[in-house]
Structure 1
Amino acid sequence: MPILPFQHLRCPLDGGRLQPKGSSLCCPVGHSFDLASQGYVHLLPVQQKRSRDPGDSKDMVAARRRFLNGGAYAPIATALAHASLKGLPDDGVLSCLDAGCGEGYYLRQLAEAAGATQTLEILGLDISKWAVIAAARQDRRPGWVVGSNANLPVVSATLDRVLCLFGFPVYSEFARVLKRGGRLLQVDAGPDHLRELRALIYPSLKPERTKESALPDGFAHHATDTVRFELALHSTEQIADLLAMTPHLHRATAEGRARAAALTALTVTVDVRLTQFERV
């Protein structure tokens, strides 16, 4: 499947379309952003940062890379790729952003699932420079940028799909960059997701909230599917990587982390919701 260079980046400072100029991307006003040797571009101005080194740490990214590359969440990637490509003509072009791409696993799986004659124009964005560097090192074909969901460096109404997995959705920005009829595919933890791990590291589990989420402005609900399966972890290292790539690592008690570190095997329930919204 062909992967085209992503053509719809915009300046995070003034919104002008970015164009290649030597080893940089430049907007009409003259703002310039260098292409890093690792294969990505940094489009998160210092005034838009909330901390000096935002997003996942280098260690968290490494844990996620090991865990996902082992295939543990392959059923989620398969469901996401199928939903993303459904309805695309065999000779069509799909323009897609992974907003909060981490180390790029799900975009790489989407590329693998595309047909031989389907063409992708894909961009991975994350606020963590460590995640984007890891993504670019594994596959340089997609575009990779350090940026924020709160101010997507993407030209308005240019995307067919936006993916947001276990991340921080900014619906107003997602609506802005999607074409009319384009879709947002959002993956969130279900009520039983990693229940066995959570029971181990917390003194007690909070009751699941049943509150209905409001429909985001600019979107219509298209479909909701559940991806649920049992996942057997067979080593202390695999359990540690799963814990390290989730917010639970920092929320758990010291006693809970010690209990997890003592395990050599654990079976957990993976329970996620894949919700599709259509831009109206």
Structure 2
Amino acid sequence: MTTVPFQALACPLDGKPLTMANNAWRCTAGHSFDIAKQGYVNLFPVQQKRSSDPGDSKAMVAARQRFLDAGFYRPIADAVSDAVLGQTERQPTRDTSFSCLDAGCGEGYYLRRLAGAAQDALPLALMGLDISKWAVLAAAKQDSRLGRQQEHSQAPQIQWVVGSNAHLPVQSQTLDSVLCMFGFPVMDEFARVLKPGGMLLQVEAGPSHLRELREVIYPTLKPERSGEAEVPEGFIHHHTERLCYSLTLEGAEEISDLLAMTPHLYRASAEGRTRAAALETLAITVEVRLVQWLRSE
């Protein structure tokens, strides 16, 4: 694994490039953003927030971390890594780094898996961004622990940022790849920050994703959307891959963690959540689509 520091940050207040000095990121207009002791930076100004504590709660982040660390979504992470590393092989030159942003990174699972898979690829400049400070804090803490455990080898150098997809604190046309994992895509922002020919990889739930859990918590299921997604402005469709597999959750905690890390926790009724809490085992289907869009030249 070879990673290099991510350098393409932009000031969230005026869009000017940020440079790091004296443990802070600064722009030429004098705006300064301190790096927290855990290693992340908050680039989400108060005036852009719609609530005092947006995004996933501390409890949701902890549930997602336990679930992902158990390896239940490892096939998804491996498919994402394969797609991104495949894009690095299409780089016109191999003497520079390859920059990738995970827009809605959560606690950083997919970026860490990508960093670990990139042993013989281009050096990666990785950035994880999330609107939840609890998610970014968890990601930064895990990186710090990994660094201590790998004292004699290179630990991931991932830039963790609190920020919003609606106003990405990234310089225009600087990224080779953007990941949007079950997240909230803002296509015009993704198009802005990607280089021409850069790849946006969207991972979204397929029709049968977590169907068995949804059948427990909802009285009826909504009809699935039909038809292909429209091509976003500024992009061309490159490739779509379907990934489907089954797994079995054993024990109430694993089932509870899965429910807690999804929007279904808040959409389900109290009766539905009670039915889920009573389960001791649950066989579920995981189905996702991985859609690759390339930024128009």
* TM-score, with length taken from structure 1: 0.98
- The 5 Å alignment of 1:154-193 reads 154-193=170-209
User: What is aligned with 2:215?
Assistant: 199
After TM superposition, the structure 1 stretch with the greater mean CA deviation from structure 2, 39-48 or 91-100, is: 91-100
Q: Deviations over 1:79-134 (max 9, x none)?
A: 00000010424765210000000000000000011124531100000000000000
User: What is aligned with 2:71?
Assistant: 71
CA distance in 2 between partners of 1:134 and 1:237 (Å): 20
User: What is aligned with 1:83?
Assistant: 83
User: Structure 1 residue 53 and structure 2 residue 57: aligned?
Assistant: no
User: Structure 1 residue 115 and structure 2 residue 133: aligned?
Assistant: no
Q: Which runs of 4 or more aligned residues in structure 1 lie more than 6 Å from their structure 2 counterparts after TM superposition?
A: none
Which of residues 92, 98, 119 in structure 2 aligns to 1:94?
A: 98
CA distance in 1 between partners of 2:227 and 2:240 (Å): 16
Q: Deviations over 1:140-186 (max 9, x none)?
A: 52000000000000000110000000000000000000000000000
Contact 2:2 2:118 in 1 (8 A): no
Shift of 1:139: 1.1
CA distance in 2 between partners of 1:230 and 1:212 (Å): 25
Which of residues 256, 261, 266 in structure 1 aligns to 2:272?
A: 256
User: Structure 1 residue 124 and structure 2 residue 140: aligned?
Assistant: no
Shift of 1:221: 0.2
CA distance in 2 between partners of 1:163 and 1:60 (Å): 21
Q: What SS does the aligned partner of 1:242 have?
A: helix
Contact 2:24 2:33 in 1 (8 A): yes
Aligned residues: 280
Provide the aligned C-alpha RMSD in A: 1.1
CA distance in 2 between partners of 1:91 and 1:127 (Å): 33
Q: What SS does the aligned partner of 1:112 have?
A: helix
> Which amino acid counterpart does residue 95 of structure 1 have in structure 2?
S
CA distance in 2 between partners of 1:272 and 1:85 (Å): 19
CA distance in 2 between partners of 1:249 and 1:227 (Å): 24
CA distance in 2 between partners of 1:117 and 1:180 (Å): 21
Q: What SS does the aligned partner of 2:88 have?
A: coil
User: What is aligned with 1:24?
Assistant: 24
> Which amino acid counterpart does residue 202 of structure 2 have in structure 1?
Q
Distance 1:24 1:87, change over 3 A: closer
